[in-house]
Structure 1
């Protein structure tokens, strides 16, 4: 990917508060822009990216996600894989979600002289190690960065995570320490886990998606205080199912939420009034994303090969569909829009990243990013680079005769004990029949002389 000279953008002013977190209330940051059809207008602060030539892979990370993948003996992390990747808002680092319930933070790879050097596959080594590893207790459902995060202000360097059977956590991206937790309780007064999280554009609230409900936490008041907004009540129209993803419009005060019931809803952020219900996804909705001008909404689902484009000003029909290879996977396959808003990039099961022109909805380019499922794709917020994550769950089956699992001993022991029980019943019925005595002695001999053995390839 190539780009012209980038114009400097001013970093938004951020005000500290008593809790050490930065927030902004009231007016949102206003930026000049040129709006185009399909949400593809070029932002005045950015130059358009060009996709005439395939990008150069400059960095690669693999080995640190596995304990010992080169050994003939499988390691505990042999089936580990990446589930997603997201750049920080200031572009100084990116975070990855991993199947082993961990999140790894990597610094942004910066080349001082501005040259692009291709990754040397012959070395087989990772480009560099993660600077921070955070271990969660259960599987990570979702994570998101604080919108005004900037490395020059440590108070803003935080991100939120939600995991199975745990409350929402707010982590310090510098020290790796847990800042605070946000807990939601069900009708039985038990902690219920959120399935999705997203910060409001003002940075003052944290929205979390639950089963048929959205809860909003005040970022500066951790604990169990929250605002509860049911998405489905009574016989009224609403958003059923688990709220799997949340996204905010950058300008017009709208909130979009997707659910696994193949439905997307658009709300007014300040009142949470339901405005539109969007139907058309073939699978459960896994991502919703507004265009840079806020006039268009893009939705994608699992086991659904199409990303749908909606005009929020006229939601009667779908504007166009963008194809990606995701027909046979329940994985979340993320897509992203470049900073200038002209193109959308998405991964897929075929290992390719496909890029589409958002003005026309036409395919622009594609390139091979991995030999596995590309489940994460994210443009850098200011530099001409992008990051991908790939992988899917695998089950390893022994291939040689020496690795077969042998359970003959334990099977014979169980068989002998069963025979002894049956013969006891025959004892009552036959009243010491000579044939029964012979069988009883034989079964006793087998049960005493047989030793249980279990040969496992990992021991």
Structure 2
């Protein structure tokens, strides 16, 4: 497990999104031909490295594709994050070769957190051809937000929020904004926003509970950024409320 000593003093990790117009990217996209009359075939299989004799009750809590589609990031009950770098898929031959109960291959990277993993996410401009962009973030119980190198497993930096008695309070969810320069984190009755270029304890806090007791109460447990409206995001809470905000006017 990576050490957390001196996390806040680590070097800033520069993440810069590419300057590529979204319209041009859409024009270059070729829609796949999907056959709904053909049953799906298993291309790869992973089981034994999750369920062991020492951890017979381990289970998957989440899986997320990397933005460039080359890697799969998983989170499991054993407080472990695993990165699987998929080889180039070759079609039916690969699927048939993976029909056994043996794992197709071992995880390329295993990162063990100190406590239960609440949430995790990829840097939105991650590309396997750009090592600097190959990072992901995680939030765990009683720990600050971590940003990990998806290739080496090195802990790049942390983003910390404290409670009224100066103890670490963990985020329940995390998400990079579409620009990739901020991390939005959900807490009880509030959202905290961290600048990715300023690790440590600096953040903007936005309370979702208004003075008249209206607003979003409870834990902010879900967040999604609009793909078409720049700066708009939706949030949901444990108290059966959802709201839409503008990033520049929260």
Relative to the length of structure 2, the TM-score reads 0.87
Find the aligned partners of 1:91 and 1:173 in 2 and give their Cα distance: 14
- Tell me, what secondary structure is at the counterpart of 1:229? strand
- Tell me, what secondary structure is at the counterpart of 2:132? helix
Find the aligned partners of 2:97 and 2:211 in 1 and give their Cα distance: 57
Query: Structure 1 regions of 5+ residues with no counterpart?
Result: 1-17, 35-42, 68-74, 273-459
- The reply to whether residue 81 of structure 1 matches residue 73 of structure 2 is no
Match of 2:246 in 1: 268
Give 1:48 deviation, angstroms.
4.5
Find the aligned partners of 1:225 and 1:33 in 2 and give their Cα distance: 35
1:161-180 Cα shifts (integer Å, max 9, x gaps):
00011110000001001000
Q: Any residues of structure 2 matched to 1:409-448 within 5 Å, and which?
A: none
- The reply to whether residue 31 of structure 1 matches residue 23 of structure 2 is yes
- The reply to whether residue 107 of structure 1 matches residue 85 of structure 2 is yes
Match of 2:49 in 1: 64
Find the aligned partners of 1:118 and 1:145 in 2 and give their Cα distance: 30
- Tell me, what secondary structure is at the counterpart of 1:250? coil
Runs of 4+ in 1 over 3 A off after TM superposition: 111-116
Match of 2:203 in 1: 226
CA contact (8 A) 2:13 2:157 kept: no
CA contact (8 A) 1:28 1:251 kept: no
Match of 1:22 in 2: 15
1:249-269 Cα shifts (integer Å, max 9, x gaps):
123121111111122111011
Find the aligned partners of 1:185 and 1:221 in 2 and give their Cα distance: 16
- The reply to whether residue 47 of structure 1 matches residue 47 of structure 2 is no
Q: Any residues of structure 2 matched to 1:298-337 within 5 Å, and which?
A: none
Q: Summarize the Cα distance change of 1:104–1:259 in structure 2 as closer, same or farther, 3 Å threshold.
A: same
- Tell me, what secondary structure is at the counterpart of 2:49? helix
Find the aligned partners of 1:94 and 1:104 in 2 and give their Cα distance: 8
1:33-64 Cα shifts (integer Å, max 9, x gaps):
99xxxxxxxx7613155223221112111011
Relative to the length of structure 1, the TM-score reads 0.49
Find the aligned partners of 1:199 and 1:148 in 2 and give their Cα distance: 10
1:417-444 Cα shifts (integer Å, max 9, x gaps):
xxxxxxxxxxxxxxxxxxxxxxxxxxxx
Find the aligned partners of 1:152 and 1:165 in 2 and give their Cα distance: 34
Query: Structure 2 regions of 5+ residues with no counterpart?
Result: 1-10
Aligned residues: 238
Query: Which protein has the larger Cα radius of gyration, Structure 1 or Structure 2?
Result: 1
CA contact (8 A) 2:42 2:98 kept: no
- The reply to whether residue 139 of structure 1 matches residue 116 of structure 2 is yes
- The reply to whether residue 155 of structure 1 matches residue 148 of structure 2 is no
> What do you get for the CA RMSD once the two structures are aligned?
2.3
